Each structure stands twice: as C-alpha cells, then as structure tokens.
Structure 1
Amino acid sequence: MSAEGLRVVYKPDEDGTGEIIATAKSGDFAAQGSAWFNPDRVKAFFLANLQAFPLASANPPMLEGGYPNREGGLDQCHLRISIQPYNTRGALVVRVDLASPAYNAGHAELRNSATISFLTEYAAVAGFAKQFSQVLDGKKDEAVLEASAN
C-alpha cells in the first residue's frame, strides 16, 4: 500500500466466517494485522453504522476482533477499526489498532502492536463501506479508505 489510508481484504473459511486482513499507513508508519469475523455481523453492525450522518462521537462505528473471553468481550484485540468525527468541518478520524496474537501468557511480552490514525471524509467512508461489503460478498478483492489531505 503506497497511499495513506486503510486497505482490507477478506479470506473466507468453510465455516461461514473469514479472516479480515487490514493494512494501514499514515506518514512514515504502517502496519498489518488480522482477525476472524462473521461477514453478516460486519455488515449489520459496522458497515451499516458507517452510513449514519453525522457519525456518533460517543459511540462511533467500530469493528473489533481477536481472542474472545467468557464475558463476551475480548481477551486480546488483534484488529480494531473505529471512525469518528474529528472537527466541526466534517473531517473524520480513522483509528486502526493492530496487534499480533499472544498464544499463551508466556508470549505476551513478545506481542507486537501498532496504532495508525489518519483523517478522511464522509464521502470516502461511504465508498469504503460499499467496497467492503463487496469484498465480504466475494465481488471485489479489496476495499480502500484513503486519507484526506490534512
């Protein structure tokens, strides 16, 4: 990925879930990570919420995946994408948290993580949501959310 922003691809599995692989870049920083998701839940709870105008600051659209715990949350978050208002002129901030899995407690100190943030616009988010839905349906290879000029 040469341009600043976010690129996602989807690798479906036989069980109806699939791996979402995200690559984010902003300035000199870039990272890649992935997590497993049910595509119907991604559409219903993340992509549908990206269509709101304005996006909510208090409860922004968020996609979050990793190792679940018994309480319904995550013990480890491997991929988180959130998009929320940045200013009163309509700019949005995209925050992408990426982390490698730690397979057991002894490996926790070897875990890598990165947070990549960039600004974008509502029109770009709407296009990204459409592309992402097509990616989940197998109609497109990747979805791209480009950063706006600061």
Structure 2
Amino acid sequence: MTYLREDEWHGELHVFAKARGFAARASAWFNRDTLIDFARALSQYPLPSTPPLTISGGVGALEADQPDLVRVGLAIAPAGARGQLLVRIELASDPQGEVVADVQQRASISFPTEYAALERFRISLEPMLDGDGEALLSGTEW
C-alpha cells in the first residue's frame, strides 16, 4: 500500500492485494491519525480475535466505524492454534450511477500471515504515511 498526503491530516490510501491468482486495487481517503492508531494497535501480542483489528475507508455515513460503501477494508485476527494470523482485505471501485450495487466492482482477498510479517508491515506504516515508500504485508502458507 501507498499513501498520498493531501495535507498533514488526510490522504488517500492506495491498496493493491494479490493472493492465489486473485488481485484487486482500490483507494480511499483516511485521516492520518486513524492510520497511526491502527498501526499502534498492530503491536499487540497476541492480537485480539474478537473483534479483529479492522480499518476501513469509503463513502457514505458511518455506522459502527464503517462507511456505507467500503472501498478499502482491512481486518487482521488470530487464526489456528500455531500463532498464525488471517488477513482479510476488501476492495471496491468507485460507485457509479444511482444503482450502486449493480455498477461497483468488489473483491475480497484473504491470506494467512505471521506475527513477524505483521511487525515488518507495522514498522513500515509510519514512514509510508510520511511519503517514504510503501507498506507490504506478506502472506505465508498454512
């Protein structure tokens, strides 16, 4: 993912996700402090399973901290008995026209990862928010 700052408070988060032959990309506007808070929450060990750590951006009114139309969503939670994590990424195109459900493309991509990869991702988030590079969360095999 990459982040294009609009100003010191906001920016557009661009996400590209790929797993097992499926791929998608989308972007959404986020408050920088929201992304920093999410990065800090990723340092927990172990991560909470209920509810999973989530962040989402999109358009429309917020309900339970989630916009009506999510364009970028990320959830990370423990999975299995061996300390692995499950990453779920929801990506969607810009809604077009009046009948949004018929003209919006959506993708849901899930993959396993581990705490070491999550820590590398977490460490890369703050420099990314300052315009230095990208943040990559890599997957592992089950």
Q: TM-score, normalised by structure 2?
A: 0.92
Question: Which of the residues 11, 14, 32 maps onto 1:39?
Answer: 32
Figure out how many residues of one structure are paired with residues of the other and give that number: 141
Q: Distance in 1 between matches of 2:78 and 2:107?
A: 21
Q: Is the 8 A contact 1:76 1:101 kept in 2?
A: no
| Residue 56, structure 1, aligned to residue 56, structure 2 | no
Which consecutive unaligned segments of at least 5 residues does structure 2 have?
A: none
* Aligned-residue offset at 1:70: 6.2
SS in 2 for 1:135: helix
Aligned AA (2:27): S
- In percent, how many aligned pairs have the same letter? 36
- Aligned partner letter, 2:54: M
Secondary structure of 2:73's counterpart equals strand
Structure 1 partner of 2:60: 68
Query: Counterpart of 1:132 in 2: which secondary structure?
Result: helix
> Structure 1: which 5+ residue stretches go unaligned?
1-7
Q: Cα distance, 1:103 vs. partner?
A: 4.2
Is this contact kept in 2: 1:22–1:32, CA < 8 A?
yes
> Secondary structure in 2 aligned to 1:128?
helix
Separation of aligned partners in 2, 1:85 and 1:99:
25
Runs of 4+ in 1 over 6 A off after TM superposition: none
SS in 1 for 2:101: helix
